[in-house]
Structure 1
Amino acid sequence: MIRPLLLAACVFAAALTAEAQTYTIDPVHASVVFRVKHLETSYFYGVFKDVKGSFVLDDDPSKCSVEVEVKAGSVDTNNPGRDKHVKGPDFFSAGEFPTITFKSTKVAAGKDGMLDVT
């Protein structure tokens, strides 16, 4: 999940101004995509479709932040049986934990103009 956040931060890095700018993630046009290696031969991809959040970008990386909330039940792997399984207790326990939240604790300058977000 951190990779898409880094990508989003880098896309907007060119638009930074002297003041910190807060951006809201557009839930209509956003998703969180993941991939899982299957039997060491291929990958399957999934997406969380219900995403919201915001991020702050500043010339000083230490003043940047990211906060994202994903509804666990919105996972879609293009396979209804697998979706039911990953929503269950073996993976996300979406009934018990309906929301997945990421809130950055540190943003620092990384390699090649990237930001390291933790």
Structure 2
Amino acid sequence: MSIEIPGYRSGTWVLDPAHSEVTFSVRHMMISKVRGTFGVKEATLIAPENPLEAKVEAKVDVSSIDTKDEGRDAHLRSADFFDVENHPVMTFTSTGTRVQNGDFLVDGDLTIRGITKPVTFEFDFGGFGKDPQGNYKAGASATAVIDREEFGLTWNAALETGGVLVGKEVTIGLDLQGALQV
């Protein structure tokens, strides 16, 4: 099976970290959400003629976590959560690409804290075009929901009003821009 994506070009695409971001959100006290970002260390997309045969590899700098609260960020870097000293990078390696009910899905292995689990990202292509320097660029957004406890992120605190401080489900968001290598 093959699909048509207007403007798609095969080749090696490299992520532009200055125009890309990894975000997350998780329930806090079960009444609101905490949002944060990570810096993308590197990502490469090998895109053959058939987009459904594409392969993605990405690395995220876990120490770059930013929730706009230095104390919380330090706690998230600690062994209670990401254990950045022992696990400084989170990785994603695709295992397949497919279209389901009109949605473009990328399946892969996500590794956090040395624990690897399968995850599916739903992609939305923003489009393709040339920048002012003549570089061919692509943009996309993607989302996935994970259970943080499956990745060893189990720290929590019970609340006296019931419930817990940190929710289990984490929504991961990607806003990506990459350049076709020539």
Q: Distance in 2 between matches of 1:22 and 1:115?
A: 19
- 1:51-106 CA deviation, whole Å, 9 max, x = no partner? 31111345634411111101110110100011001111121111111111111112
Provide the residue aligned with 2:8 in structure 1. Answer: 16
Deviations 1:17-49 (A, max 9, x none): 4xx332111112212101011122111111002
Greater Cα shift, 28-37 or 78-87? 28-37
CA distance in 2, matches of 1:109, 1:62: 8
Of structures 1 and 2, the larger Rg is shown by 2
Identity %: 30
Unpaired segments of 5 or more residues in structure 1? 1-12
Choose the corresponding residue for 2:22, options 32, 50, 53: 32
Higher helix residue share: 1
What is the TM-score of this pair, normalised by structure 1? 0.77
TM-score (norm 2): 0.52
Shift of 1:116: 3.4
Task: State whether residues 39 and 62 of structure 2, in contact with CA within 8 Å, keep that contact through their aligned partners in structure 1.
Answer: no
Aligned pairs for 1:6-85 (under 5 A) are: 13-17=5-9, 20-58=10-48, 60-85=50-75
Q: 1:113 Cα deviation (Å)?
A: 4.2
